[in-house]
A and B are shown apart, each in its own frame.
Chain A
Amino acid sequence: MQQLNPAEISEIIKKRIEKLDVSSEARNEGTIVSVSDGIVLVHGLADVMYGEMVEFENGVYGMALNLERDSVGVVVLGDYNGLAEGQKARCTGRILEVPIGEALLGRVVDALGNPIDGKGPIETTLTAPLEKVAPGVIARKSVDEPVQTGLKAIDSMVPIGRGQRELIIGDRQTGKTAIAIDAIINQKNTGVKCIYVAIGQKQSSIAAVVRKLEEHDAMDHTIIVAAGAADPAAMLFLAPYGGTTMGEYFRDRGEDALIVFDDLTKQAWAYRQISLLLRRPPGREAYPGDVFYLHSRLFERASRVNGDYVEQHTNGEVKGKTGSLTALPIIETQGGDVSAFVPTNVISITDGQIFLETNLFNAGVRPAMNAGVSVSRVGGAAQTKIIKKLGGSIRLALAQYRELAAFAQFASDLDDATRKQLEHGQRVTELMKQKQYSPQSVAEMGVVLYAANEGFLDDVPVNKVVAFESAMLSYMKAEQAELLATINVKGDYNNDIANGIKAALETFKSTQTW
C-alpha cells in the first residue's frame, strides 16, 4: 500500500467531512425475503429503478435486476454471507459507475474499478456509468486505419481496423489469449491504449498476463480489469461493461483504444447463472432470452466516432480528431463446435473472426489460425498499402495449398505446376508461423511477404524457412535500417520501395548465411 503521512490523512478526512450532507434523508426501504446464491429478493422498494444500486445493512451493494409486482430481484455485488431474511435494503438513487481516465493506465482493477494491485487509490475524479448507449449513426465514421497486431498471419490475411470488432474463437489451449496479448504488446508507442478484461480466469493466469505485459513494457498503456473465477457471478457479468466504459473515455477524447474480452463465454455463463437464479425463463442451452442483447449492446459500443462527436464530447477541447474503440472478444468453443448458441451469436455480431484450431496448433502452426474460415469484414479498407499489396497472394497460396494437400496424399506423381504450388504452399505455411511475444513491424512483414511472393523462398528447404526468415530480418535490420524506417512511416508501396527490397534480398541471398 501507498504510504500516507498523518497530516495527509487528516486532510483527506477533513475534505470528506466538508462534503458531507447532514440534512435528514428520505429513502425507500424494503425487507429481504430470501437470499440464494448471490441473489436477494426484496419486498418493498416501491420506487427502485432498473439497474439501481441497492444498499444492504452490512454495507454491501447490489443491483436491482428484476422488478416485479411484489418483489425486487437484486444481485449482490460482493459477499452475501452476512445477509439474512428480514434485514433492510434501501435504494440509493444511483446507478453503477466506474472511475475513468488516464490514471487507470498501468493498473489492475476489479469490475467496478476498485484497484486490486496494491498500488494505492486511483487518482481520478472522473466516473461514468457502467452501461451506456452506443453512439448513433451520425456520430460514426467508417473504419480506415489499421490496428497492427504484429502477427504476420493476422495483419496480412485478416486485418483489423480501428473501431472494428474482431472475434478470436477456438477451443481451449489454441492460443487465443496469446494473440490478444501480442496485439496489446504491439500497441506500445503507437498511442493506442489497451484494456484487457479478464473474465472468470484463475488469479494465477491473470497475474501471469500482468507479468508478461510488464516484462514487455506494455503495462504503461494498459488497464487490466479482472473478475476472477472466485468473484461473484455479478462481477463476471459486469466486467466487460466496466472495461468498455474505461475504453470509451479514450474514444470520446479522440484517441484510439483496444479492448480485449477474455473470454465472453464465461460472461455468458455468469449471466445465465444470474438469470436462472432470478427465475427468468431459460431458453436454448438454458441461456435467458436476452443473451444476444447482452453481447450486441456491448459490441455496439466498440466503434469509430467522427471529429464532430469528439469535439462535442470534449466541449471543443479536442478538434478534428476521430476516436475509436477496437474490440477483440474471445470465445472458447467446446470441441470446435462453432454452431453452439453463444459462438453463433457473437460471430453474427462481430465484423469477422479469427478461427483457431487444435490440430493446427498441435502441428506447430502458431498462431493456429485457419486461414480458410477466418475473415475480416471491414479490415481490408484499413490495411496499409504495402501489406495489402503483398499480402493478397498469401491467402490464395494457402487456399490452393490446402486443396491440393488433401488430394496429393493419394496421387503419387504430380505434374510440375501442382508440385510447385504444393511446395510454395508449404513454405508460406512455414513463413506464417511466428513466436509469441515477438510482434513484427509493418516493414518487417512487408519484406517477409515480398520474399514469399517473388520466389525468394523457392530454393530454401521447407525446414529452413523459419531460420531463413529470422536471418533475413536481422540482415535487413542491420544493413537496411533506413529502408525499413521509410516503409514504417506510412506503409506505402511503390516501385522505389519494391526495388529497394529486391536489391537488399538479392544481396542477402548471395551471402548464403542461414
Chain B
Amino acid sequence: MMAESITIARPYAKAAFSAAKDSGTLDQWSEMLAYSSLVAKNENMVVVLDHPALTSQQKASVFNDACGDKLNEHAQNLAYVLSEHGRISLLPEIANLFEAFKAQLEHSVDVEIESAFDLGTEQQEKLAQALTAKLDRTVNITASVNSELMGGAIIRTQDLVIDASVKGKLAKLAEAIGA
C-alpha cells in the first residue's frame, strides 16, 4: 500500500534529511538516495532482497556492493538499518520524501506544464513568473506537449492542478449539459 509505505518511510527520510542538513551534504545525499532507489528497484536486486535464505546483513552488503562507491559510509549504514527491518525496498519513497523536504527548505517547487503546443521560452518565463507569485516559491518547470488537450495548458504541482485546457473546458461543458 502506497499510503502506508509513505508513512513508514517518513521517519527514515526525516533522519537522513536532518543528518544531511547538519553536515551540509544535502546535494550529495540527494544523489545517493536517487541512485540507491534505482538500485533497489532493479529486478535482480528485488530477487535478492526478497530471498528467504539470506540474512539482513548479507542483503545489505550485497546492496552496498551493488551501489559501489556511489554511497558514503552514512548511506551504507542507512542500508544496514533498513535491511534489518526488511525495508530496503522503501528507498524510492524515502528518496521522494527527501526531495520534498529539500524543496521545502529551499523554498522551491517542481511544476509540470502540459500544453497543446510547444511553449516558447518567452511564454515559459511568463508562466514561471506568474507561478512564482502565486505559489510563493521558486519554480522548476518541466514542460511537455500533449496534443490531446487541443488548446491551452494544464499545470500540475504536487496536489494542485490548474486546468486551463480546451479539453478540460469541454469536459465541464459536457457535465453541465448532462446534469
Chain A interfacial positions (CB closer than 8 Å to B): 13, 16-17, 19-22, 24-30, 33-34, 41, 43-47, 59, 68-71, 90
B160 touching A71, Cβ below 8 Å? no
| Contact of A16 with B159 at beta-carbon distance under 8 Å, contacts A33-B1, A43-B2 already known | no
B163 touching A25, Cβ below 8 Å? yes
B74 is an interface residue with CB less than 8 A from chain A: no
B173 touching A43, Cβ below 8 Å? no
The one of A17, A33, A47, A59 in contact with B159, judged by C-beta atoms closer than 8 angstroms, is A47
A26 touching B161, Cβ below 8 Å? yes
**Complex alpha-carbon distance, A26 and B168, angstroms:** 11
| Contact of A28 with B160 at beta-carbon distance under 8 Å, contacts A34-B1, A41-B1, A70-B6 already known | yes
**Complex alpha-carbon distance, A29 and B114, angstroms:** 15
The one of B3, B7, B10, B172 in contact with A20, judged by C-beta atoms closer than 8 angstroms, is B172
B164 is an interface residue with CB less than 8 A from chain A: yes
A22 touching B172, Cβ below 8 Å? yes
Given A16-B179, A46-B159, 20 additional A-B pairs, CB 8 A: A17-B173, A20-B172, A20-B173, A24-B163, A25-B163, A25-B172, A26-B162, A27-B161, A27-B162, A28-B159, A28-B161, A30-B159, A43-B2, A43-B3, A45-B159, A46-B158, A68-B3, A70-B10, A71-B2, A90-B161
Nearest to A34 among chain B residues (CB) is B1
**Complex alpha-carbon distance, A21 and B172, angstroms:** 9
Interface positions, chain B 131-160, Cβ under 8 Å from A, are 152, 156, 158-160
Chain B hits for A90, CB < 8 A? 161
Distance of A213 from chain B, by nearest CB (Å) = 30
**Complex alpha-carbon distance, A333 and B29, angstroms:** 63
Chain A hits for B7, CB < 8 A? 69-70
Distance of A41 from chain B, by nearest CB (Å) = 6
**Complex alpha-carbon distance, A17 and B176, angstroms:** 7
Distance of B40 from chain A, by nearest CB (Å) = 19
B177 is an interface residue with CB less than 8 A from chain A: yes
Distance of B113 from chain A, by nearest CB (Å) = 13
Distance of B149 from chain A, by nearest CB (Å) = 12
What's the dominant secondary structure at chain A's contact region? mixed
A44 touching B159, Cβ below 8 Å? yes
Chain B hits for A43, CB < 8 A? 2-3, 6
Distance of A55 from chain B, by nearest CB (Å) = 9
Tell me the count of chain B residues lying within 8 A, CB to CB, of chain A.
Answer: 24
Chain A hits for B177, CB < 8 A? 13, 16-17
B169 is an interface residue with CB less than 8 A from chain A: yes
Counting chain B CB atoms within 10 Å of each CB, the highest count among A16, A17, A19, A90 belongs to A16
B152 touching A24, Cβ below 8 Å? yes
Chain B interfacial positions (CB closer than 8 Å to A): 1-4, 6-7, 10, 152, 156, 158-164, 168-169, 172-173, 175-177, 179
The one of B4, B160, B168, B176 in contact with A19, judged by C-beta atoms closer than 8 angstroms, is B176
Chain A hits for B168, CB < 8 A? 24-25
Chain A hits for B6, CB < 8 A? 43, 70
**Complex alpha-carbon distance, A59 and B179, angstroms:** 11
List 25 contacting pairs A-B, 8 Å CB cutoff, sorted by A: A13-B177, A17-B176, A19-B176, A21-B172, A22-B172, A24-B152, A24-B162, A24-B169, A26-B161, A26-B163, A27-B161, A28-B159, A28-B160, A28-B161, A29-B156, A30-B159, A33-B3, A34-B3, A41-B1, A41-B3, A43-B2, A43-B3, A43-B6, A68-B3, A70-B10
Chain B hits for A25, CB < 8 A? 162-163, 168, 172
Nearest to B7 among chain A residues (CB) is A70
**Complex alpha-carbon distance, A46 and B7, angstroms:** 15
The one of A20, A47, A69 in contact with B176, judged by C-beta atoms closer than 8 angstroms, is A20
Nearest to A85 among chain B residues (CB) is B2
Distance of A9 from chain B, by nearest CB (Å) = 10
Chain B hits for A47, CB < 8 A? 159
**Complex alpha-carbon distance, A45 and B175, angstroms:** 22
Distance of A299 from chain B, by nearest CB (Å) = 33
Distance of B13 from chain A, by nearest CB (Å) = 12
**Complex alpha-carbon distance, A41 and B3, angstroms:** 8
Chain A hits for B1, CB < 8 A? 33-34, 41
B161 touching A29, Cβ below 8 Å? yes
Chain B hits for A24, CB < 8 A? 152, 162-164, 168-169
Distance of B22 from chain A, by nearest CB (Å) = 25
**Complex alpha-carbon distance, A25 and B167, angstroms:** 12
**Complex alpha-carbon distance, A71 and B175, angstroms:** 28
**Complex alpha-carbon distance, A28 and B158, angstroms:** 9
Distance of B51 from chain A, by nearest CB (Å) = 27
**Complex alpha-carbon distance, A96 and B7, angstroms:** 30
**Complex alpha-carbon distance, A327 and B10, angstroms:** 49
Chain A hits for B162, CB < 8 A? 24-27
Chain A hits for B10, CB < 8 A? 70
Nearest to A31 among chain B residues (CB) is B2
**Complex alpha-carbon distance, A499 and B6, angstroms:** 83
Chain B hits for A69, CB < 8 A? 7
Distance of A325 from chain B, by nearest CB (Å) = 30
Sort A-B residue pairs by CB-CB distance and give the 3 closest, nearest first: A71-B3, A24-B164, A33-B2
Chain B hits for A16, CB < 8 A? 176-177, 179
**Complex alpha-carbon distance, A44 and B3, angstroms:** 9
Chain A hits for B156, CB < 8 A? 29
**Complex alpha-carbon distance, A512 and B62, angstroms:** 106
Chain B hits for A33, CB < 8 A? 1-3
**Complex alpha-carbon distance, A454 and B169, angstroms:** 78
A22 touching B161, Cβ below 8 Å? no
Chain B hits for A41, CB < 8 A? 1, 3
Chain B hits for A20, CB < 8 A? 172-173, 176
Chain B hits for A13, CB < 8 A? 177
Nearest to A20 among chain B residues (CB) is B176
Nearest to B154 among chain A residues (CB) is A24
Chain B hits for A26, CB < 8 A? 160-163
**Complex alpha-carbon distance, A13 and B164, angstroms:** 23
Nearest to B152 among chain A residues (CB) is A24
Chain A hits for B152, CB < 8 A? 24
